[in-house]
Structure formats: structure tokens, C-alpha cells
Amino acid sequence: MSLNPMTPAWKSTPSGKVRARGLGLPLEGKCGPCNAITDVAGVSVGYSTLIEGDGVLKQGAGPVRTGVTAILPRPRETIHEPLFAGFFSLNGNGELSGTHYIEETGKMALPITITNTHSCGIARDATIRWAVDWLAERYHDDFALPVAAETYDGFLNDINGFHVEARHVLDAIDAAHGGPIEEGSVGGGTGMKCFGFKAGSGTSSRLVGYEDEEFTVGVFVQANFGTRRHLSVLGRNIGTDPDLPPMVTNTKDTELSSIIAIIATDAPFLPHQLKRLARRASFGIGRTGGMATHGSGDLFLAFSTAASDLGGGAIRTVRFIPDEDIDPFFEAVVQATEEAILNSMIANQTMVGRDGNLVPALPHEAVKRVLGLEG
């Protein structure tokens, strides 16, 4: 199904899947034209989605429900140029590579990749291979410490079959584009779930005015967390509401759950300020009912595209928004994180994976009834 050109991108995905705003949810804040992380100029997103086989798990053979997401923070021709960045771990039962370098220098470069837990290493290594091939002169005798992150998809996927290969990572990077992007069971989010419902990849953005300029804050999540009884939408706990259908018997909540949040902005911020922005993703997750359980890897990265020429060789001058004026950007992160999570669930479908394990889609009409959005 293709996107109706008359339907705004903030209502539907390119394949026509309805998003939270298309469902009628009165979410806070003003979003960008695509309501996506790609509303930040120069940022692009690509996917490689692997869905193969059905039935009983045969390790190494499937069923396969996984993939890779690539987020390029700069256009390809300048992808090697460092950006200011900040990292925050709400709960550290997970992996996001490159954080030691980010903590030390406040900078990062190259594509960001997100995949399943047991493919995080190959995503990192393949990204370095891509950089060496794409930027041979830059990296022929230099090092690269790219960001690669993961969440666990073993309930639906043959995670120990190691189906993600370097070529899939390269495909995701090469497929990256701006504009409207797909959500739901695509890329690294293919085998993920939230609050007992199908989830995965989701995104949203907010526009923030400061003095006489308008800046964009975009959030992308790979959502794979939460217990159904905690699910909240627009401030209302709906996970136990009788209007929602009962849990499917072979669908279980698991503590092997996580969320990765990538926050992009074109607003000029310093590394310590970006760490503060990353920390605020916690509140967007909390609005939906997440609480960073013991087994959850809740890891957040924020970067700014505003500054360039951050390398050595000369004294550099950068501008930044003062800490005293940062609150509207905090609010933007909270709002966009909440909406990105909801989009990852709403723009989705029921999926059956290994051993017949089933994760149902969040039922749209039931959600509308519970929230009083009918009619």
C-alpha cells in the first residue's frame, strides 16, 4: 500500500500505516513536516529487514524476525566530520558502543546502527568497513569508534542463528534517506515488542522557537520494553482496561527488554547539554508506563548537527543556547520520545515468530474507545 500524496506524513507512514496522530491522538507540541528524526536537516534513516520462515525454532535456520537500522547524522559527503554528542544510561542492561569516547570527548561521527542483541558487534564492525571503503583516504591509517546499539528480539527471532551479516548493515546504511520513513516492524525493530504488543521502530519530532530562530528536535526509538499492565496513553493507564482484548496465551512479557533512543537536533548545544537532553528521554518513556526494570537496557544518545569544523589544528568558536534557556528543548525531547514509542506500536501489525510465538498489534479501535476518541 503506498502513501496517499494527500495524506500528511505525520498521519501515515510511506506504506500507509496509520500513526498516532492519524489515529486522532491529541499529542502535545508542534511536529515537523514528517514528524520524524529526518526533520533535522541532513539526518537520514535506512533499514534492512529480515523476515524468513515459520514454525519450530531450528537454530541457524530460523524463523528469522530481525534486521538493522542505520541513522546517518550528517550527509554522506561529510559523515566523517565529528558532531557534539552526549550519552545517558537510565538502566545499563544493554549495549551502545562508542560511549567511552563520547564521554571523554563529547563527540561522535559516522552512521549509528541499531540491531538485535547478538548482532551488535557485527553492526559496529561493518560500519567501520563501510567507512574504510567510503572514506578510504580518511580512515586508511586512523581509527573509528562508531555507535552501534541493540535490543533483544529472541522471543520472535532465531537470535542465536546470527542471521544479520555485514552486507545487511551496509544495505541499511546505503538505503538511508531523508523525508518520511517507515515505522513498526522494520529494520532493527522487526522482532521487538512493547507492553505485550508489537512494536519496534518509531520516530517523532518537535519544532522549538528560540529568539528569532526555529529549531528541530527529532527522536528515533527502537522500543522493546514494558509490561502490559503499565501501558499508558495520554496519561491514562489502558493496559488493564477491559475494553482491550485479553492477552494472547502464548504472548509473554519478558524482563529481557530495552529501548534505544537517538535524539537529533539542529539547535546549537554543547556536549554536556546534549547529555542533559538525552537524560530527558527517560520522562517520555515514563509517560508510556516504562520504569527501567532490572533486565532493561535503556540507553539514549543525543547529537547536534549545528557545529562543524570540530577537529584540531586551530582554535574553534561555537555558539550555544544557554543552559538557562534549555527547558523548551527538554519538553520537546519528552514529547517526541513519547510519541515515537506510540508510533512504533500503532504503525504495526500482529507478528508470529519462532515456535509460533505471537505478539498482537495494539488494537486501534479499542484504544480509541478507551480514550473516548470515537465519533
DSSP character at residue 311: S
DSSP string, 143-202: -----EEEE--TTTS-GGG----HHHHHHHHHT-BSSS---BSSGGGTT-EETTEE--EE
**All 3 cell numbers of residue 242?**
477491559
Give catalytic status of residue 201 as yes or no: no
CB count in 10 Å sphere of residue 145: 17
- Distance (Å, whole) CA 168 – CA 69: 10
Secondary structure E strands in the chain: 44-52, 64-72, 83-92, 107-108, 112-116, 148-151, 193-194, 197-198, 201-210, 213-224, 232-233, 236-237, 258-265, 297-304, 351-352, 358-359
Look at residues 180, 204, 200, 202 and name the one whose alpha carbon lies nearest to residue 335: 204
Task: Please state the separation of Cα 62 from the chain's center in Å.
Answer: 25
Give catalytic status of residue 298 as yes or no: yes
- Distance (Å, whole) CA 49 – CA 164: 10
- Residue 145 phi, psi dihedral angles, 5° rounding: -130, 70
Q: Which one of the listed residues 258, 282, 304, 344 is annotated catalytic?
A: 258
> Which residues touch 34 (CB under 8 Å, ≥6 apart)?
9, 10, 179, 180, 181, 205
> Which residues touch 327 (CB under 8 Å, ≥6 apart)?
none
Q: Which one of the listed residues 204, 298, 304, 344 is annotated catalytic?
A: 298
CB count in 10 Å sphere of residue 26: 9
Give catalytic status of residue 185 as yes or no: no
Q: Which one of the listed residues 12, 97, 257, 296 is annotated catalytic?
A: 296
Q: Maximum CA pair distance of the chain?
A: 64
Among all residues, which ones are annotated catalytic?
A: 258, 296, 298
